[in-house]
C-alpha cells in the first residue's frame, strides 16, 4: 500500500497517467445530470478517478419561476453553457438566488452538457472528451462501478442494463446512494461518494497487488477475498459511516 | 514462469528488468490509445501484441493482455466481419492463457470474458466456413477448459464463467428474433443448418440446456452468495425474452428462489446489504419482464411472487421500525427532567433587548427546551398537556410563575417606546421577503421528486402577508402593556391587504396536512355508504374538509348579504359573487379560489401520490357545479360560475408537464373523474409530440373507450384526431381505430375531410 500510495501522488498533481497507481473507473448517475451526479463527477475527478456521468430522466428538468413551470431541456443536445446563458437572460436574480447559475457555472467547466444514460453506447471510446474532467483513464468508455444518487435512477439503470442484454460480458457494480436533490445534500453526498470510491479502490488495489496462483487456492478466506466479493462488505461498512444515505447494490453486466 | 509471476507486481518489479517492463507497458498503453482513437488499427495491433502477452509473458503483461483482449473483442465499434478476423487470430493465445496451470485470477477473469465475446463470433464463422476446422477445435477446447475451472475458481473468475455459459446458451438455443442485432446477441441456433459438417444443432441445443441448468443451480440451491446470484439474475433477461425455449425453465427457477432467506441470520451491516440486494435484484428482473411483456403467460405468477415479496419485506421493515420507535421512547428521559425542574422555582428577569412573545413566557433555563418550538405540537396534544399540567401543578408554583411573568411585562412596557422605534426595519424586512421564496427553490431543482421543499416554498410565499409567528417586538410591547393602555386602532384594511390576509388564512388551512397522520391500514375497513366524511382526525378527513371548504362554503361566506346555512342558500349566492370576482382586478381571488389554488399546488407537488386527492376534489367540484346549475335554473337566473372544467384542465396541464411513459396514474385519473370533455381529452394530444409517451396517451384513450361507454365517442374522436395530426402515432392509433371505429381509416385515406368525424368537429366543441 505504501508504494502504491506514493506512486499515485504524482498522478493527482499532474492529472495524467493511470499507470502510476490502479484506479477504478466510476460513473455517477442522477435524474438530470445536473446537481448530484455532477457534484459526484467533480469530486471523483478531483480525487483523480476516471469518471463519467449521466442522467436517467426523459428530459433535463430545472426549476422555473413556479412549481408548474420547470425549465426543460433535451439531453445530449443542450450544453451547460447554453442553459446558463438562457437562464441568465430570463431572470438573473431568480436563478442566481436559487443557485442554478452557480451550479451550471460549475458544470460547464466539468464537461460540455448533460448526457442521458439510456442513449449512452457503452464501450464507445470516449477519446473526444479529453477536455472533460475525469476523462483521463476513461478512454475505453466502460466504468467498473456505477453510482446512482436516487433509487429511481438505480432502478432505471438496472432495468436498462437488463434491456441491453449484456453484450460486452463485462461485470459492473451498480450502487445507489440516496441523496436529496438540493445543493447542500449533493455536496455532502459528493463527499460520501469519494469516501466509498476510496474504500473500493483500496480493495481493488489490494487484489491487484496479490500475485500468483489464485485458482484452487486454499489460503485464508478473508485476506484472499477478491474485490468483487468485498464490495457488499465495504458498502456495509461505508453505510455505518454514512447512516443517513441509504444504499443499494447489485452486480450487473454491460 | 511461475517464479516470474510470483515476484512481479504491477508497476514495480524487483526482479528481471523492471525498466524494460515499465517501458513495454507504456508502449502497450500507447498502442491501446491508438486503436481507441481509430478502430481501423484494431486488426494490426491486436495481432501485433499477441506474442508479447502470451502465456509465457510476465504477469503484468498477461494481465494487460487478457484485459485488452476482453475489451477488443467486446468493443461495439467493430463490425461482425472485423471481429471474426480478430477472434480467429486470438483463439490460440486465449487458450494458452486459460490453460496455465496456476494462472492469476485477474488474467483468468478477463480471458474468460474475452472467450464469452469470442464464442458467438467463432460460432458464426464456423457456420459459414466449415472448412476451418482448427478454429472450432480451439474454441471447443477453450469452452471445455472454462467449464472445467468454473466450480473451483475464485469468485471473479466464476462470475465470468457464468457469463460465458450464458453466451453459449444464447448462441445455442432457438431465437424469436426479438434481440438487438449487436455484439453477436443475435447469433442463435436458427443460423445453424441441419446438415452442417461440424455442428450438430441437436447436440448443441442439448449442451445449452445442460449449461442453463448449471447456471440456474445457484437459484435452485437458494444460494446466499449474492455476488453469484446477482450476476446470474442480471444476465437472464435476454434469455427469457428472446429464447422462448428457456423461458419457463428460468422463470420457474427465479420464482422458486427465496431472496429473503439470509434475513433470518443475524443482521450485520454486510448481511443487510446482501438481503436488500438479492430482494431488489430479483424484483427488478421480474418487474422488468412484466413491463416488457405484460401478456406473458406467467404474468399472474410473477405478480403473485412480487406481491408476496413486498409483503414479506414490509413485515420485516415494519418490525424494525416498531422496535426503533420503542427505543426512541425509552431514550427520552422525560421523568428525570420533571424531577430536576420542580423544587426551587424562580423566574429569571429578562435581559435587555427585544424579546419574542414566546421568550417572555418561557420559564425554563434549559437551552434545549427553550429552542423547542411548541407550535409544532398538534393543537389537541398541546391542549391535553396543558390541562394535565395545570391539574397537577401546585398553587405556590403557579403564583410564583404568574408574578414573575408580570414583572417581566412591566419591565418590557417601560422599554416599550424604544422597542417600537427599533421595530420598524424588521417589518420592512418581512415585507421584502419574496427573494426568500425563491431561495427555497434551489433545494428543489427537480420539483416532482422532492415535494417536501415545495410545501415550505408555498408557506414562505404566504408569510409575506401577516406575521403570525415571528411576533414583532413592537407589537409585543403594545399588546402586553399593563394599566390603562388602549390598543391602537388596526390599520384600515384595503382590498389588497384583505386579499393577502385571506390568502394567509387559506394557507393555514393546509398547515395540519404536514402533521396529520396518514390514515393507517387499521382504519381501512370503512362503514360503506354510512360513513361520515371527515369524522376521523387524519389526513384524509382533513383533505375532505379542505375540498369542501373550497367548493361549497366560500361563496356563502363572502356574500355577507346572502347569509344562511344550508347548501342551497349558499349556492344561490354563488352566481353574482363569482361573476364578480372573475371580472375583478387580478390577484383578488375569493377565499374559495385561493384554497383551490393552494389545493392545486399541493396536489402537483407530489401528483403521482396525490392523484386520489385530485379525484376527490374534482368530484366535489362537479357536484357543486351540478347544484349551481340546478339553483340557477330554478331561480331562472343566469348560470353561476362553474369550476369543474376549468380545474380539471389545469390539473391535466399540470401533470402533463411532468409525465413520463410509466405514469399509468394518468389513465386512472381520467377514468375516475366524474366528467370528461373533448377539451380534457384533447390535452392528451400533447403527449403524442413525444414518441415515448404516445403509447401512454393512446392506451389511456383505449381504456376510456372500453370502460366508459358514455365518453366512448369523444375518446374515439380524440384517437381519430391523433391519427390525423401525428404521423408518429399512426400505427398504434390505427390499431385501435380499426377495432373500434371500423371504416374510419378507409374513409380518411379515401374520402378526405368529408367523413362524419372530421377532426375540426371535435375542436369546435372543445373550445
B551: Cβ–Cβ under 8 A, 6 or more apart, which residues? B592, B617, B620, B621, B623, B624, B643
Kindly tell me if the per-residue pLDDT of B521 is higher than 50. no
Burial class (CB in 10 A: 0-12, 13-18, 19+), B704: buried
Contact by Cβ (8 Å): B607, B600: no
Average pLDDT over residues B388-406: 83
pLDDT of residue B315: 80
Same domain, B598 and B474: no
Q: Is residue B281 part of a domain?
A: no
Kindly tell me if the per-residue pLDDT of B126 is higher than 90. yes
pLDDT of residue B379: 82
- Domain end (from B623, B658, B693): B658
Q: Is residue B237 part of a domain?
A: no
Å from A70 to nearest chain B CA? 8
Give the mean pLDDT of chain B. Answer: 77
Domain count, chain B: 4
Chain length of chain A: 254
Chain length of chain B: 767
Q: Which cell numbers in the block locate residue B76?
A: 461495439
Task: Identify the residue with better confidence: B735 or B537.
Answer: B735
Beta bridge partners of A116: A55
A3 in contact with B at a CB cutoff of 8 Å? yes
CA distances for B414 relative to B349, B405, B407, B422, angstroms? 14, 14, 11, 14
pLDDT of residue B226: 93
Partner-chain residue, chosen from B37, B102, B660, that has the shortest CB–CB distance to A215:
B102
Q: Is residue B373 part of a domain?
A: yes
Contact by Cβ (8 Å): B729, B722: yes
Strand ranges in B662-731 using DSSP code E only, listed in sequence order? none
Same domain, B376 and B436: yes
Q: What percent of chain B clears pLDDT 90, i.e. is strictly above it?
A: 31
Kindly tell me if the per-residue pLDDT of A38 is higher than 70. yes
Q: How large is the ipTM?
A: 0.90
Parent domain of B10: 1-149
Kindly tell me if the per-residue pLDDT of B292 is higher than 70. yes
pLDDT of residue B540: 79
Of A146-150, B230-234, B311-315, the least confident: B311-315
Answer whether B277 sits within 8 Å of A103, measured CB to CB. Answer: no
Q: Is residue B398 part of a domain?
A: yes
Taking only the tens place, the pLDDT of each residue in B199-253 is: 999 999 999 999 999 999 999 988 888 999 999 999 999 999 999 999 999 999 9
Taking only the tens place, the pLDDT of each residue in B468-489 is: 444 444 445 555 545 566 777 7
Å from B540 to nearest chain A CA? 24
Of A220-224, B325-329, B460-464, B571-575, the least confident: B571-575
Beta bridge partners of A175: A147, A249
Same domain, B131 and B67: yes
Taking only the tens place, the pLDDT of each residue in B38-97 is: 999 999 999 999 999 999 999 999 999 999 999 999 999 999 999 999 999 999 999 999
Task: Identify the residue with better confidence: B666 or A78.
Answer: A78
Same domain, B635 and B727: no
Task: Identify the residue with better confidence: B71 or B627.
Answer: B71
Give the mean pLDDT of chain A. Answer: 87
Q: Is residue B357 part of a domain?
A: yes
Contact by Cβ (8 Å): B100, A212: no
Taking only the tens place, the pLDDT of each residue in B330-354 is: 444 444 343 444 445 677 777 666 6
Task: Identify the residue with better confidence: B359 or A169.
Answer: A169
Average pLDDT over residues A103-110: 95
Q: Is residue B663 part of a domain?
A: no
pLDDT of residue B112: 97
Same domain, B22 and B57: yes
Kindly tell me if the per-residue pLDDT of A46 is higher than 90. yes
**Dihedral angle computed from the Cα positions of residues B287, B293, B296 and B301, in that order, rounded to the nearest 10 degrees:** 10
Burial B414-446 (b: 16+ CB within 10 A, else e): ebbeebbeebeeeeeebeeeeebbbbbbbbbbb
Contact by Cβ (8 Å): B117, B183: yes
pLDDT of residue B143: 96
Answer whether B657 sits within 8 Å of A122, measured CB to CB. Answer: no
Same domain, B503 and B570: yes
pLDDT of residue B690: 81
DSSP 3-state assignment of B16? coil
> For residue B763, what pLDDT band results from cuts at 50, 70 and 90?
very low
The 3-class secondary structure across B86-130, one letter per residue, is: HHHHHHHHHHHHHHCCCCCHHHHHHHHHHHHHHHHHHHHHHHHCC
Average pLDDT over residues A116-135: 93
Kindly tell me if the per-residue pLDDT of B147 is higher than 60. yes
Instruction: For an interface test with A, give the residue of B268, B435, B441 to mutate (most A CBs within 10 A).
Output: B441
pLDDT of residue B511: 81
pLDDT of residue B458: 52
Same domain, B741 and B723: yes
Q: What spatial distance separates the first Cα and last Cα of chain B, rounded to whole Å?
A: 84
pLDDT of residue B181: 82
Same domain, B3 and B91: yes
Kindly tell me if the per-residue pLDDT of A177 is higher than 80. yes
Q: Which domains does chain A have, with CATH numbers?
A: 2-57+116-211+220-253 (3.40.50.2300), 59-114 (no CATH)
Among candidates A149, A115, A147, which has minimal Cα distance to A36?
A149
CA distances for B190 relative to A17, B175, B205, angstroms? 47, 7, 11
- Domain end (from B596, B626, B658): B658
Same domain, B89 and B21: yes
Å from B72 to nearest chain A CA? 10
Same domain, B653 and B693: no
- Tell me the C-alpha distance between A168 and B71, whole Å: 8
Average pLDDT over residues B633-662: 80
- Tell me the C-alpha distance between B469 and B490, whole Å: 18
Instruction: For an interface test with A, give the residue of B234, B243, B275 to mutate (most A CBs within 10 A).
Output: B234
**For A142, nearest residue in chain B (alpha carbons):** B71
Q: Is residue B380 part of a domain?
A: yes
pLDDT of residue B182: 81
pLDDT of residue B488: 75
Kindly tell me if the per-residue pLDDT of A217 is higher than 60. no
DSSP 3-state assignment of B505? helix
Kindly tell me if the per-residue pLDDT of B433 is higher than 80. no
pLDDT of residue B211: 96
Q: What is the DSSP string of B185-228?
A: TT--GGGS-TT-SS--HHHHHHHHHHHHHHHHHHHHTT---HHH
> For residue A190, what pLDDT band results from cuts at 50, 70 and 90?
very high
pLDDT of residue B530: 54
**For B161, nearest residue in chain A (alpha carbons):** A169
8-state DSSP, B305: H
B344 in contact with A at a CB cutoff of 8 Å? no
pLDDT of residue B476: 52
Q: Is residue B337 part of a domain?
A: no
Same domain, B499 and B481: no
- Tell me the C-alpha distance between A60 and A65, whole Å: 16
Contact by Cβ (8 Å): B222, B207: no
Same domain, B44 and B130: yes
- Domain end (from B658, B692, B712): B658
**For B115, nearest residue in chain A (alpha carbons):** A169
pLDDT of residue B639: 55
Location of C-alpha cell 496462483: A213
Kindly tell me if the per-residue pLDDT of B144 is higher than 90. yes
Amino acid at each position: 500500500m505504501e508504494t502504491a500510495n506514493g506512486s499515485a501522488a504524482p498522478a493527482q498533481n499532474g492529472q495524467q497517467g493511470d499507470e502510476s497507481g490502479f484506479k477504478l473507473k466510476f460513473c455517477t448517475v442522477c435524474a438530470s445530470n445536473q446537481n448530484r451526479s455532477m457534484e459526484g463527477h467533480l469530486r471523483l475527478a478531483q480525487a483523480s478517478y476516471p469518471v463519467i456521468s449521466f442522467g436517467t430522466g426523459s428530459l433535463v428538468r430545472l426549476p422555473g419561476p413556479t412549481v408548474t413551470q420547470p425549465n426543460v431541456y433535451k439531453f445530449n443536445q443542450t450544453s451547460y453553457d447554453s442553459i446558463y446563458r438562457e437562464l441568465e437572460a430570463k431572470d438573473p436574480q431568480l436563478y442566481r438566488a436559487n443557485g442554478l447559475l452557480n451550479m451550471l457555472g460549475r458544470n460547464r467547466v466539468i464537461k460540455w452538457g448533460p448526457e442521458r444514460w439510456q442513449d449512452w453506447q457503452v464501450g464507445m471510446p470516449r477519446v473526444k472528451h479529453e477536455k472533460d474532467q475525469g476523462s483521463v483513464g476513461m478512454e475505453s468508455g466502460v466504468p467498473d462501478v456505477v453510482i446512482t444518487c436516487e433509487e429511481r435512477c438505480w432502478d432505471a439503470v438496472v432495468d436498462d442494463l437488463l434491456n441491453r442484454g449484456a453484450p460486452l460480458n463485462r461485470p459492473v457494480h451498480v450502487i445507489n446512494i440516496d441523496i436529496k436533490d438540493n445543493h447542500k445534500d449533493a455536496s455532502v453526498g459528493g463527499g460520501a461518494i469519494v469516501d466509498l470510491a476510496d474504500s473500493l479502490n483500496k480493495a481493488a488495489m489490494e487484489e491487484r497487488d496479490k500475485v500468483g496462483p489464485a485458482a484452487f487456492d486454499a489460503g485464508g478466506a478473508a485476506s484472499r477475498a477478491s474485490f468483487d466479493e468485498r464490495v457488499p462488505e465495504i458498502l456495509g461498512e461505508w453505510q455505518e459511516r454514512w447512516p443517513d444515505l441509504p444504499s443499494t447494490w447489485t452486480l450487473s453486466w454491460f | 514462469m511461475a517464479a516470474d509471476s510470483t515476484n512481479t507486481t504491477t508497476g514495480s518489479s524487483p526482479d528481471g528488468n523492471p525498466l524494460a517492463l515499465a517501458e513495454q507497458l507504456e508502449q502497450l498503453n500507447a498502442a491501446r490509445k491508438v486503436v481507441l482513437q481509430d478502430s481501423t488499427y484494431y486488426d494490426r495491433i491486436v495481432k501485433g501484441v499477441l506474442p508479447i502477452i502470451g502465456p509465457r509473458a510476465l504477469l503484468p503483461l498477461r494481465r494487460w493482455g487478457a484485459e485488452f483482449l476482453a475489451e477488443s473483442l467486446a468493443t461495439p465499434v467493430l463490425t461482425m466481419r472485423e471481429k471474426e478476423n480478430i477472434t480467429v487470430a486470438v483463439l490460440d493465445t486465449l487458450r494458452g492463457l486459460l490453460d496455465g496451470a496456476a494462472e492469476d485470477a485477474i488474467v483468468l477473469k478477463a480471458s474468460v470474458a474475452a472467450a464469452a465475446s469470442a464464442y458467438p463470433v467463432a460460432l458464426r464463422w464456423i457456420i459459414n466456413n466449415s472448412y476451418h476446422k482448427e478454429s472450432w477445435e480451439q474454441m471447443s477446447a477453450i469452452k471445455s477448459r472454462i467449464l472445467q475451472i468454473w466450480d473451483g475458481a475464485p469468485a471473479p473468475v466464476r462470475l465470468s464463467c457464468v457469463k460465458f455459459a450464458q453466451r453459449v446458451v444464447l448462441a445455442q438455443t432457438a431465437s424469436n428474433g426479438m434481440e438487438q442485432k449487436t455484439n453477436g446477441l443475435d447469433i442463435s441456433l436458427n443460423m445453424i443448418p441441419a446438415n452442417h459438417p461440424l455442428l450438430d444443432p441437436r447436440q448443441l441445443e442439448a449442451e445449452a440446456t445442460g449449461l442453463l441448468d448449471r447456471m440456474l443451480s445457484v437459484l435452485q440451491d437458494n444460494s446466499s452468495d449474492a455476488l453469484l446470484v446477482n450476476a446470474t439474475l442480471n444476465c437472464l433477461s435476454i434469455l427469457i425474452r428472446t429464447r422462448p425455449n428457456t423461458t419457463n425453465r428460468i422463470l420457474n427457477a427465479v420464482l422458486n428462489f427465496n431472496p429473503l432467506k439470509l434475513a433470518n441470520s443475524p443482521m450485520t451491516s454486510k448481511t443487510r446489504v446482501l438481503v436488500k440486494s438479492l430482494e431488489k435484484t430479483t424484483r427488478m428482473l421480474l418487474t422488468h419482464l412484466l413491463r416488457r411483456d405484460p401478456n406473458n403467460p406467467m404474468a399472474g405468477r410473477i405478480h403473485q411472487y412480487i406481491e408476496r415479496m413486498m409483503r414479506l419485506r414490509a413485515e420485516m421493515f415494519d418490525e424494525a421500525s416498531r422496535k426503533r420507535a420503542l427505543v426512541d421512547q425509552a431514550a427520552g428521559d422525560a421523568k428525570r427532567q420533571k424531577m430536576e425542574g420542580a423544587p426551587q422555582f424562580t423566574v429569571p428577569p429578562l435581559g435587555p433587548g427585544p424579546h419574542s412573545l414566546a421568550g417572555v413566557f418561557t420559564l425554563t433555563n434549559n437551552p434545549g427546551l427553550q429552542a423547542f418550538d411548541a407550535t409544532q405540537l398538534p393543537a389537541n396534544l398541546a391542549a391535553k398537556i396543558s390541562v394535565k399540567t395545570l391539574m397537577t401543578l401546585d398553587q405556590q408554583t403557579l403564583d410564583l410563575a404568574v408574578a414573575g411573568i408580570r414583572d417581566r411585562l412591566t419591565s418590557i412596557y417601560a422599554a416599550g417606546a424604544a422597542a417600537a422605534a427599533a421595530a420598524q426595519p424588521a417589518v420592512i424586512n418581512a415585507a421584502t421577503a419574496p427573494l426568500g421564496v425563491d431561495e427555497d427553490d434551489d433545494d428543489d431543482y427537480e420539483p416532482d421528486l422532492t415535494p417536501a421543499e415545495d410545501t415550505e416554498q408555498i408557506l414562505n410565499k404566504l408569510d409575506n402577508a401577516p406575521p403570525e409567528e415571528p411576533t414583532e417586538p413592537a407589537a409585543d410591547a403594545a399588546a402586553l402593556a399593563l394599566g390603562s393602555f388602549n390598543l391602537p386602532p388596526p390599520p384600515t384594511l384595503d382590498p389588497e391587504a384583505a386579499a393577502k390576509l385571506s390568502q394567509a388564512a387559506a394557507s393555514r388551512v393546509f398547515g395540519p396536512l404536514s402533521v396529520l397522520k396518514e390514515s393507517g391500514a387499521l382504519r381501512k375497513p370503512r362503514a360503506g355508504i354510512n360513513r361520515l366524511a371527515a369524522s376521523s382526525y387524519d389526513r384524509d378527513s382533513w383533505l375532505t374538509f379542505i375540498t369542501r371548504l373550497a367548493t361549497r362554503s366560500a361563496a356563502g361566506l363572502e356574500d355577507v348579504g346572502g347569509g344562511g346555512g344550508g347548501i342551497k342558500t349558499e349556492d344561490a349566492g354563488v352566481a353574482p359573487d363569482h361573476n364578480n370576482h372573475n371580472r375583478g382586478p387580478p390577484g383578488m381571488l375569493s377565499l374559495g379560489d385561493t384554497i383551490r389554488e393552494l389545493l392545486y399546488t399541493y396536489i402537483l407537488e407530489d401528483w403521482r401520490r396525490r392523484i386520489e386527492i385530485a379525484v376527490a376534489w374534482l368530484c366535489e367540484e362537479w357536484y357543486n357545479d351540478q347544484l349551481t346549475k340546478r339553483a340557477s335554473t330554478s331561480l331562472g337566473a343566469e348560470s353561476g360560475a362553474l369550476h369543474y372544467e376549468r380545474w380539471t384542465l389545469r390539473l391535466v396541464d399540470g401533470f402533463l408537464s411532468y409525465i413520463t411513459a410509466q405514469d399509468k396514474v394518468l389513465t386512472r385519473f381520467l377514468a375516475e373523474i366524474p366528467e370528461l370533455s373533448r377539451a380534457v381529452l384533447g390535452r392528451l394530444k400533447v403527449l403524442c409530440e413525444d414518441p415515448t409517451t404516445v403509447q401512454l396517451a393512446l392506451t389511456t384513450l383505449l381504456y376510456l373507450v372500453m370502460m366508459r361507454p358514455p365518453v366512448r365517442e369523444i375518446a374515439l374522436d380524440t384517437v381519430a384526431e391523433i391519427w390525423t395530426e401525428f404521423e408518429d402515432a399512426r400505427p398504434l392509433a390505427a390499431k385501435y381505430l380499426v377495432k373500434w371505429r371500423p371504416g374510419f381509416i378507409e374513409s380518411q385515406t379515401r374520402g378526405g375531410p368529408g367523413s362524419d368525424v372530421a377532426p375540426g368537429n371535435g375542436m369546435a366543441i372543445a373550445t
